[in-house]
Amino acid sequence: MGRKLIEKVRDFSLEGEVAVTSTLGDGLLCRYRGNSSGEVRQWFKQVWQILRREMSDRDAIIPRVWLSG
């Protein structure tokens, strides 16, 4: 993961706290600490959209399993 990509993911403004770090290889660890499940769900969707475009050059279509629940 490039530093620029990690900074882009960290830059979303949220009430809760976020942490983003790269792992060995091509992994990315995203953590959220806060009181809003809706906020974290939206943040993870935004992270997914950025990663999908950057890593695979594909449209960021939210997986169906994320819509059930």
Residues 3-25 have pLDDT tens digits of: 787 777 777 767 777 777 777 77
Rounded CA-CA distance 10/17 in Å is: 10
Rounded CA-CA distance 2/20 in Å is: 12
Query: Over the stretch 25-34, which tens digit does the pLDDT of each residue have?
Result: 777 888 888 8
Domain parsing of the chain, residue ranges: 3-67
Does pTM top 0.85 for this prediction? Answer: no
Residues with Cβ within 8 Å of residue 59, at least 6 apart in sequence: 52, 53
